[in-house]
Structure 1
């Protein structure tokens, strides 16, 4: 059984989905006049790669691409994220809302029909987010997203028997 399939069965793939769903949320604002708020510079396509780390010491390379739509005067983010590795793929759709520096949202992983919630805060350099699975999923992870211009670094710590973490680097396309 491949690592990504094993990860899926033990929460890993949903965790990867959770990470991906908020992997690109910089507070840095481009000059785009149609959007204001913490999601202003997100609109469009992002892509990049990263590495999953498992509790048994193994790693697996992952590639992701994301499309972001800004709504609600820049306070709502709708996104679609696709990630793949040598052993499988995921597709996450999510909605994230911003109010007074706080973030709240819901996500759905389309291929495995897994859902969850997220909450967090806007920070000086990006975001700090906590992700939880719903409907019987034991998914739990913390994410730090650091944004510098059109690049992002995402670091995720999983609370899982299978996964330790994920580091992902994304660039705006």
Structure 2
């Protein structure tokens, strides 16, 4: 019976011993504070501190776009446009890098994990050629050196991030000789 009365009082907005202070048409100060906090967090007013990422990939998180050149297996070069997306969660990162020129396109995807001591490992795939493989390398402080290897394919990849600019250099032994890309966000 006592529980039932307390429940009814709470449902009605009143609980024994509690006093609700209201302003502006009955909205409680607590409720206003709660709504304000929800709006601030929802709009991201607290900025990067509220969504700070930890780990070696934190500086890469987000969407990037830019251009560069690709050197094809016959030695010719072409301008390319690129988009990259890095989904970062602590020591893990999912990446997508899509680049295209007039005659060449690649769609690189990867799942990378940072290990203690700066080692990096993971897997990659390239959709337009249906090729997959492994990634191995090292990195920290926005600078990464990795080797992407797979059946009939080997490439050295260097990625350096400084603020809102990123440079990616790839050197391969087949299909294309390399690429040099500059991205920004």
Normalised TM-score (structure 1): 0.70
Q: Distance in 1 between matches of 2:164 and 2:74?
A: 34
Q: Which residue of structure 1 aligns with residue 20 of structure 2?
A: none
Alignment size in residue pairs: 137
Alpha-carbon RMSD across the aligned residues, in angstroms, is 2.0
Q: Distance in 2 between matches of 1:83 and 1:55?
A: 17
Q: Which residue of structure 2 aligns with residue 63 of structure 1?
A: 81
1:64-79 to 2 correspondences below 5 Å:
64-71=82-89, 74-79=90-95
Cα deviations across residues 122-143 of structure 1 (Å, max 9, x unaligned)?
A: 145601111101xxx3111112
1:6-25 to 2 correspondences below 5 Å:
none
**Greater RCO, 1 or 2 (C-alpha within 8 Å, sep 6+):** 1
Matching residue within 72, 78, 85 for 1:54: 72
1:32 and 1:40 in contact (8 A); partners too: no
- Aligned-pair distance for 1:118? 0.7
1:38 equivalent in alignment to 2:45:
no
- Aligned-pair distance for 1:109? 1.8
Q: Which runs of 5+ in 2 are unaligned?
A: 1-47
1:94 and 1:86, CA in 2 relative to 1: closer, same or farther beyond 3 A? Answer: same
More helix by share: 2
1:32 and 1:41 in contact (8 A); partners too: no
Q: Which residue of structure 2 aligns with residue 166 of structure 1?
A: 179
Q: Which residue of structure 1 aligns with residue 135 of structure 2?
A: 118
1:155 and 1:168 in contact (8 A); partners too: yes
Q: Distance in 1 between matches of 2:81 and 2:50?
A: 27
Larger Rg: 2
Q: Which runs of 5+ in 1 are unaligned?
A: 1-29
Q: Distance in 1 between matches of 2:53 and 2:148?
A: 26
1:34 and 1:146, CA in 2 relative to 1: closer, same or farther beyond 3 A? Answer: closer
